[in-house]
Structure formats: C-alpha cells, structure tokens
Amino acid sequence: MFWTRTGLLLAVLLVISIGSLWISSAMDAGLLRNLVTALGTGTLVSAIVGFGQTLITAAASQKALVTPLIEESKRALRDLSAEYRALNNEFFPTHVFEASAEPDPEFNRLLMDDLRASRHYFFRGFSGRHAAARLLLTRSEWELRTVVADPRQHSAISGRARYLLRNEGATGDYDKIRARLIDEISIGIVGLFLARSRCTSVDIAVISDPPLDRTEIFDDSVWLTLYSDVGGVTSLYPRTLRFSEGSFIYGMQRAEFQRMRDTRTAQKFVITPDTSRQEFLALFEKITGTPLSEEGFAELERKFHDFREEFTKAAGLES
C-alpha cells in the first residue's frame, strides 16, 4: 500500500513535469513560458527529491519495523521447533517396529547394539529365554535384573496363553498352550543360569501378575513390546517401541520395574557366576515348586540351546 500510493504520486509528478517542459518548449519566449518551464523544472526536482526521500524512509522503516518483526518471528519459530523436539524426546519413540509374522533383523540388530553399549540390563517379560539367549550372543558383562512370571500361579500364565490362543485360532488348545508356557519358564530359568558367567549377578523376581507387555531397559533406551496391542493380535511378533534415555517413558518404566520388584508378593532370587549346579537345582525348586534332577536339567539345557539356535537364526544374529 505504501509503495503503491508513493509510486502513484511520483508518476503524477513526472507526468506533470514532462508535460510542462514539453509544452514550454513549444511556446514563445516570455513570462508565460518561463512560468511553465519553472513549473516543469520544480515538479521534476520535487519528483527526484521525493523519490530519494522515499527510499531513505523505506529503508529506515524496514530496519526499524520489519527487520525486528522478522527476527522475532524467526526466534519464535526456533523456540517452537525446540519445544517440539523436546516433546518428541519426552513422549515419542525413536523407533517403531510394527507387528509382523517374521522377526525383523533391523529390530534385533538395533536392540543388540543397545545391549552391547549398556552395563545394566533390566528385563521384564514372561520367561526370560530371550534375555538369556541375547546375553550368550555377546562377550560383555552386565548387571542383569529380571521380572518373570510365577509358574505356580495360574493368573501369571493366563494372559500370555490367551494371546497365543488368538494366534492359533479355532484349533488352539488352551491347556496345551499353558503347559508349553510353563515349560518355557523352566527353560528360561535354566537359560539365565547358563548365562550367569556374562553377568556380575542375575537377580530374578518372580511375580504372580506380570504385565502382558515385555520391557527391556538399557542404559540409553527402553524397549516396549506390546502384546496388549489389539491391532497386532494376529501377528506372532507384536508392535515394539523404542524410547531414548531422556524420555518420560524411560523414567516411568524404570520406576515401574523397580515397583514390581519391591512388591511384597514378589519372590526374589539371585544367581551369581559362582552358583554351582547343585545350588541352582535347589533354587529351581524354590522358584517353580518342582524338583529338578540332573536328567531334567540336561533336558531343559538341551531345549534352551535348541531355542537359542533357532532364535539366533530367525533374528539374523548369526556371526
């Protein structure tokens, strides 16, 4: 608007100036010609001076008004971007792995990278088989804390059994699935014993009401495997989210993990690198309520190594 009105005024002055000078050039010498010439010259000078003043005024206005407004807008955008980044770090996952029927190699590669870079490994899941298998695939040393289901409590098994039953459809047998899950817990406990040399200690908390979702916490990240996600009930491998160490979810999951371990109903057991086979057999009976013979231990050990090899191959973790 400013430039439109100013440009129109300058154009009018130029037209009057040029017209006056053109008319004066056709007039005879005399007072009237001098007046018309003076009008054209004065108008032309006014147009030139006005144009210069307009440029100076516009530059000053730009510097005094527009430039600070632009800088303030840029600062507001930077602050808004920083706020969104903070929200992303606080509440949004760094990685999302959708539910699938086959293991995702990228998922396992990234999780193993987090494990290798960590000195603490907190696992809350069903049996602990995967945690033990991952430990045996690396050469580092960790402080391992686990929360697993109590095989003696029906309520601890039912949630995972129903999830697997949905995947098997109408042909699924709940009792067979439940028996298989109890066996998996036994295999997982034996696996944790076999992985004891990779840990300064293995703390096992057995609870009767474990959450359906699996949580794996490292020094710099937390992984949530959402068995409770109804959108992925038809997939063997549920949706998984990864959050960074600085996020709200990370702090919340660590606090929740500790709360579960500290509940009165949680039974706690410790396996160290020095735990002998006989000591473990007695510990196994305390955890499961079932005596374990040497032959039974050998059978569970074989099953665990079969699982480890199958898991390693399926996850693309073969060296």
Q: Give the model's pLDDT for residue 37.
A: 64
Q: Give the model's pLDDT for residue 2.
A: 45
Smallest CA-to-CA distance from 218 within 91, 97, 89, 119 is with 119
State how far the Cα of 40 lies from the Cα of 13, in Å rounded to an integer: 9
Output the DSSP codes for 137-179: T----EEEEEEEE-TT-HHHHHHHHHHHHHHHGGG--HHHHHH
Burial class (CB in 10 A: 0-12, 13-18, 19+), 265: exposed
Q: Give the model's pLDDT for residue 1.
A: 44
Per-residue pLDDT of the chain (319 residues; tens, 9 = 90+): 444 666 666 666 666 666 666 666 666 666 666 665 666 566 666 666 666 666 676 666 666 665 666 677 777 777 666 665 555 667 788 999 988 888 888 899 999 999 999 999 999 999 899 999 999 988 888 899 999 999 988 888 888 888 788 777 677 788 888 899 999 999 999 999 999 999 999 999 999 888 889 999 999 999 999 988 766 455 678 899 999 988 889 999 999 999 999 888 889 999 999 999 999 999 999 999 999 999 999 999 999 999 999 988 887 777 5
State how far the Cα of 245 lies from the Cα of 217, in Å rounded to an integer: 9
Q: Give the model's pLDDT for residue 161.
A: 84
Q: What is the DSSP letter of 28?
A: P
Flag whether the pTM goes above 0.75: no
Smallest CA-to-CA distance from 113 within 218, 13, 25, 183 is with 218
Q: Give the model's pLDDT for residue 155.
A: 82
